[in-house]
Amino acid sequence: MRKSFVLTVLTGALLLSACSRPVPVPQDGTELWLAAGRPYAEVLASVQAKVDPALPAEGFHIYDDGAQRVVAAGSEAGLRYGVYALQRAEVLGQAGPGIDISEKPYYDLRLLNHWDNLDDTVERGYAGKSMWEWTSASIPEARIRHYGELCASVGLNGAVLNNVNSNPLVLDAEHIARVAKIADILREYGIRTYLSIKWTSPIALSGLKSGDPLDPKVRQWWKDKAAEIYAAIPDFGGFLVKANSEGQAGPQDYGRTHADGANMLGEAVAPFGGIVMWRAFVYSPTSPDRANQAVEEFLPLDGKFADNVIVQIKNGPVDFQPREPFSPLFGQLRDTKMMMEFQITQEYLGFSHHLAYHGTTWEECLDSDTYRDGPGSTVAKMVTAIAGVANTGQDPNFCGYFFAQSNWYAFGRLAWNPELAAEQIADEWIRQTFLKPAGVSDKTYEAKFIAPVRDMMMASREAVVNYEMPLGLHHLFGGTHYGPAPWDRLGRPDWTPAYYHKADSLGIGFDRTPTGSDNVHQYHEPLTSTYANLATCPENLLLWFHHLPWDYKLSSGRTLWDEICLHYDTGIRQVEAFRRTWDGLEPYVSPALFAEAKRKLEIQQHDAEWWRDACVGYFQTFSKRPLPSDVRPLRLPIDSLEFHQLKSDELGMPVFDDDLRAVILPPRRMMRRPQ
């Protein structure tokens, strides 16, 4: 063969293989789910946009009038939602001729709650410091605009800017002026601004002697403060309040009720159309079951809240655990407006290190039937508004991990329409977030990239449940809420894992049946019986409701002990599978995103093993049983975990060594097991 021919053949072969191989498009995750669509302005310019007051205020109608595509909406905000809906439809391939999409939001209030502090730290934030940059001289306008676009694109219309553990200074003149500037930007995206207040603000800011909600001076102070805020921010949304909870003061300190407190604030903002979101996250250290407390405190107040007060309730009765049943309060209040509080930031699900898609978590909760008004009384129908604790920070990708962005997206989509399926939302998110590589057919991309990523996301939350706290176990966390500490039993009881798992030589689990705390009676029938009865209690909530012997037989025929071990091991195997899947996706995704998830998944596997070693190792000291033969042995002896602690940085993030292992610090005093 002549040399030139050989070269030609080789070059041709190389070119051919290059053409048939996908060429990933560079991207770094900073465009979030707006990456794949046409720019908003371009979509807007391509349609006839019109406001039609006959349509629902935030609703829209996208249709074709001959050759002209029209987006009609009840308001400017609705128009924005419609244009973003069209952008999404284009990416999803649903915007062909004859398009006809009419939508309006299910809930009027769709809010993010930012737990951002005035010193720029973020409580339970894992994406850097506060995105509002409270301590800087200027307002981070570009970031706020980007945030506004992202929120508007999924239909979110409110933001509480600061932490519920509020600093009274947020209500001083300087901060009100700053908040007004932020509100001016957010308003352009249809987002109303709200603030969390500290109950004792009148004392801290003006030297009043009391915070008693029935004291005329206190009432006047709040009225004046509301007037001051509304003078600066005419469309200010209102207040979010954490009172008499976790050391925060509240009306009970003055012998008054939550309703007295909420109504006083409600009265202050009512003339301006404002609202008060009063959190039901309350629990006293002396109660026999923290899960009972919200109902115990709030049921007697049903019907006593003012019209502009909404009680904001966390999805579960304890605290954003990887799995909880829905809070029974959703089924108990009848004459009080209720609002959902989900947690988007992954306080208990591996921070921004673990892949844990929450679409499935929230779908499970929203679809749960409370039976309050008979069958079909889903949680979604019981609430009239919805909030999510944000996972945003100054990180260029906002969330610290591009997979964590999917939870912000999913929250927005479910807030718009709680009937959407988690799987559909994951699918939409993938198609909008990742840029399809060149050289790949739609069919191949679908089969080789979209489907595997979607499957990973859909399985991810259950994987976390498996390796952190399966079968209804909950709150097995150490101090930072990142890693396991099932042995921890010092300090306030209901802040320790031992209070929740109650492991002893006989068994494990929290008895919430009538022989225990009787939490089951806070649910309506048939749930009371379903949960109380071992034959019908869902196995994924078994140890939430029951204390059971180690040799209790589950539906698999295995003992409880063996199933616990198996679930932890399964969780690790699931993460191993995610890693294999992700490694196979390298040809389809940008090098930056590929590397990011590769590293995070490695951390996730290490952490999953750490959880297994800690929990199985610790519970084994009670069960005194061997690991089942099909479960892999533990790697770390329990003593090396139990008497050490995790090193974390100033944001509470764990510190990893070069091998991506969490750095474990030398022994500390507190975690001794009682003899």
Give Cα separations from 98 to 62, 63, 67, 80, 171 (angstroms).
10, 7, 10, 21, 51
In the complex with ligand GCV, which residue's Cβ is closer, 479 or 628?
A: 479
DSSP state of 117: -
In the complex with ligand GCV, which residue's Cβ is closer, 114 or 461?
A: 114
Written as one string, the DSSP assignment of 69-105 is EEEEESSHHHHHHHHHHHHHHHHTT---TT-EEEE--
Contact 206, 259 (CB under 8 A): no
Give all strands of the β-sheet with 48-51 in edge-to-edge order: 48-51, 68-73, 60-65, 100-103
Per the residue annotation, which of 246, 373, 442, 657 is the catalytic one?
246
In the complex with ligand GCV, which residue's Cβ is closer, 243 or 560?
A: 243
At a CB cut-off of 8 Å and minimum separation 6, what does 178 contact? 134, 139
In the complex with ligand GCV, which residue's Cβ is closer, 90 or 319?
A: 319
Per the residue annotation, which of 319, 341, 468, 642 is the catalytic one?
319
In the complex with ligand GCV, which residue's Cβ is closer, 165 or 210?
A: 165
Residue 199 CA to residue 202 CA, distance in Å, equals 8
**Closest distance between ligand GCV and the C-beta of residue 320, in Å?**
7
**252, β-bridge pairs:** none
Contact 194, 161 (CB under 8 A): yes
Q: Catalytic annotation on 246? A: yes
**Closest distance between ligand GCV and the C-beta of residue 124, in Å?**
5
Backbone angles phi, psi at 374, to 5 degrees: 90, 175
Contact 440, 585 (CB under 8 A): no
Residue 132 CA to residue 120 CA, distance in Å, equals 8
Q: Where are the alpha helices (DSSP H) in 236-316?
A: 258-269, 293-298
Q: And the tokens for 97?
A: 């001729």
**Closest distance between ligand GCV and the C-beta of residue 510, in Å?**
18
Q: Where are the alpha helices (DSSP H) in 258-357?
A: 258-269, 293-298, 329-332
Amino acid at 108: D
Short-list 170, 174, 154, CA closest to 105: 154
Q: By CB under 6 A, name the binding residues for ligand GCV.
A: 115, 123-124, 164-165, 242, 246, 281, 319, 347
Give Cα separations from 649 to 74, 480, 599 (angstroms).
48, 11, 18
**Distance between alpha carbon 394 and the CA centroid of its chain, in Å?**
18
Give Cα separations from 336 to 4, 255, 258, 315 (angstroms).
84, 22, 13, 17
Catalytic (active-site) positions: 246, 319, 347
